[in-house]
Structure 1
Amino acid sequence: MTTTDPAMTGQPSFIIDQWDFTATPAQRQDGLIDSLAGRWIHCQRDQAGLDEWLDRLGIHSGLRQAVLAEDTRPRFEEVPGGFLLILRGVNLTPGAEPDDMLSLRLLWYKDGLISLRKWPFKAISSVRETLEQGKGPTTLDALLVTILEAINLRIDELLEAQELELEELEAIDHITNPQQHLTRLTQLHRRLLRLDRFIRPQVGALERMAIDAHAWLGHRELQLLSNQRDTTMRILETIEMLLQQIQLVRDELQQDLAERMNRNTYWLSVIAGIFLPLGFLTGLLGINVGGMPGVEDPRAFWLTCSALAVVAVVEFLLLRRLRFFGK
């Protein structure tokens, strides 16, 4: 993808990219603008000068704080002149955890769209690539739906990878290394919980937007928005299904571990039950006091061993009769 250096184009450092949708196809613009109508401005929200520019556009301080806040959850909110939509997308930055979801703020204001991010967003990059090729959306409302679609697409890709990992864990003979198996299940469970934390409110935000966005979006885009809301709902249902599946696999694994422990404890108890009277007899015969029978008889050792063997066999048959173990 072709990149543009803001310093070379005269753009402020907080503007990553901007496009004019009053032309068809949309055209990239350079320089600082004070009119948003028909334009998309993609911004780096932690750069100096952004707050002053938003203030100059007439955006009140409360809304500026909302779009520049460090920690936010997905939500939709109507504001004077438009709406604010805060979304979360997967983190596909090399070396990062995908489930450590990134925040994207979309501010529709005075018929223009401002998007703000802190870290690179692969979904936004893909939209910019299509615009550079002249194949992207031709209107701002279509652009908004395209961004939602790109975000959901990458979340879907991540969930497919999680499903494959879970299928692999189910196929592995976990009895050979149950502790490692349980550790991988716990890690997968933790990743899905982090996804669930943000996707759940994201569904609510898109549901509210689908109800209230008729003032800004056309009929076709409203239908596409409803589709993306349904897609997000399906993603949430997939996460819930995977969480339940992980719990089932974990329960099965823990049951196998408990059965193995019970089996080992059982056999130890059987062995201890057999050798307890034998140990008592050998201990009794081993005391060093006068009057012990057989001390002078060379056959006494073998007679004692035979008697102990008979006692062991009788105990074995008795335990079997009492169904301490299968026949």
Structure 2
Amino acid sequence: MAFIIDAWDFNQQPASRVTDLTGKPVVGCWYHLERDTDGLEDWLKQADIPEPLIDAMTEEDTRPRFQRLKEGFVLLLRGVNLNQGAAPEDMLSLRILSYKGVIYTFRKRPFKAITHIRESLEKQDGPDDLNDFLVHLVEQLNLRIEDVIDAVEVKIEDMEAGGYDNTAVQQQEISKLHRRLLRLNRFVRPQLAALDKFTTESERSMDNEMHQWLLNERDTTQRLLEQIDLMLEQLWMQRELLQQAVAEKMNRNTYWLSVIAGVFLPLSFLTGVFGINIGGMPGVENEDAFEIFTYALVVIAVIEFLLLRRLRFW
């Protein structure tokens, strides 16, 4: 069955891989499935899973949410996309269905979090039961979101310490980071709400210790969301400071252009007057007139410079 990526039996310790996949799903097992592979829907129907739940697990676009069922629950989560060549903020959908004592997870692209749990199970160092598996899964999703957020935070700190010399490049970097955080925020916020409901509902099915671990992971998601909100505020502040730096640079350039124009305005006036090519211009018959006129322009320019300096124009 090509749609079954992996399956583990938690009815014994340590958990063992399910080798016989021809029959119906076994209570106490976890089945990891490829949701866009032919034959999956028929297999789920044979497992007595209602068609609305099958549609919810295989639909294309979903947002994080939790739904309690009479014989289980539906938990839709998102994880950062750490596949090669992908953007981490394009978060992947992971659908979790707990139904009649069996847990099914559905994915379209590989998840590093799932891979880590499978590897730990192979080393006989993984979760002890299905509840432990769910807590481990939320933990691994949070760890990878945290890694991406920490990388963004480092870039923001470097930007704050680097000054505002190359404003064009910095503007592009701010826009890139802002877009990344907005995409993360789009799914982490409803994911927190889904985990809130899941934590409340799981209090009846989990023992105290396991429920406390789940609460800790819910708090971690809350902290990650707060960290995203804080960094969004930091980026807005960086954008304002960058715009202020650009405005100051433009004002400074405009100011110096005005000073230069002020210095050369009377000089331009004099050169314009003495450039009139009509009779009666003074100095036309004097061979030293051009040299005298040039020295006069230099003296006027020096006097203007000293006058502007005394008036504290800069």
Q: Give the TM-score category using the shorter length.
A: over 0.9
Instruction: Indicate whether 1:138 and 2:128 are aligned.
Output: yes
Does structure 1 retain, via aligned residues, the 8 Å contact 2:74–2:96?
A: yes
Instruction: Indicate whether 1:308 and 2:279 are aligned.
Output: no
Instruction: State the TM-score, normalized to the length of structure 1.
Output: 0.90
Post-superposition Cα deviations, 1:95-115, rounded to whole Å, max 9, x if no partner, equal 211221111001111111110
Post-superposition Cα deviations, 1:228-279, rounded to whole Å, max 9, x if no partner, equal 1100111111112222222323322322222112111110111111111211
**Residue equivalent to 2:30:** 40
Q: Which runs of 5+ in 1 are unaligned?
A: 1-11
**Residue equivalent to 1:13:** 2
**Residue equivalent to 2:284:** 295
Q: Paired residues, what number?
A: 313
Does structure 1 retain, via aligned residues, the 8 Å contact 2:164–2:245?
A: no
Deviation at 1:193, TM superposition (A): 1.6
Instruction: Indicate whether 1:206 and 2:206 are aligned.
Output: no
SS of residue in 2 equivalent to 1:53: helix
Instruction: Indicate whether 1:117 and 2:107 are aligned.
Output: yes
**Residue equivalent to 1:165:** 155
Q: Which runs of 5+ in 2 are unaligned?
A: none
Map of 1:180-191 to 2, 5 A cutoff? 180-191=169-180
Larger mean Cα displacement after TM superposition, 17-26 or 252-261: 252-261
**Residue equivalent to 1:237:** 226
Larger mean Cα displacement after TM superposition, 228-237 or 78-87: 78-87
Distance in structure 2 (CA, Å) of the matches to 1:144 and 1:252: 44
Which residue, 73, 80, 83 being the options, matches 1:83?
73
Deviation at 1:163, TM superposition (A): 2.2
Code of the aligned partner of 1:255:
Q
Distance in structure 2 (CA, Å) of the matches to 1:215 and 1:233: 22
Deviation at 1:32, TM superposition (A): 3.1
**Residue equivalent to 1:3:** none
Larger mean Cα displacement after TM superposition, 177-186 or 313-322: 313-322
Distance in structure 1 (CA, Å) of the matches to 2:38 and 2:205: 30
Deviation at 1:121, TM superposition (A): 0.7
**Residue equivalent to 1:282:** 271
**Residue equivalent to 2:216:** 227
Which residue, 89, 92, 97 being the options, matches 1:99?
89
**Residue equivalent to 1:65:** 55
Code of the aligned partner of 2:292:
L
**Residue equivalent to 2:17:** 28
Instruction: Indicate whether 1:273 and 2:232 are aligned.
Output: no
Post-superposition Cα deviations, 1:17-42, rounded to whole Å, max 9, x if no partner, equal 11111112112112133244211111
Report the identity percentage: 51
C-alpha root-mean-square deviation of aligned residues, in Å? 1.8
Instruction: Indicate whether 1:52 and 2:30 are aligned.
Output: no
SS of residue in 2 equivalent to 1:106: strand
Does structure 2 retain, via aligned residues, the 8 Å contact 1:75–1:201?
A: yes
Deviation at 1:318, TM superposition (A): 4.1
Which residue, 91, 98, 104 being the options, matches 1:108?
98
Distance in structure 2 (CA, Å) of the matches to 1:289 and 1:206: 91
Deviation at 1:315, TM superposition (A): 3.1
Does structure 1 retain, via aligned residues, the 8 Å contact 2:167–2:246?
A: yes
Larger mean Cα displacement after TM superposition, 263-272 or 91-100: 91-100
Runs of at least 4 residues of structure 1 off by over 4 A? none
Larger mean Cα displacement after TM superposition, 190-199 or 113-122: 190-199
Distance in structure 2 (CA, Å) of the matches to 1:205 and 1:301: 86
SS of residue in 2 equivalent to 1:298: coil
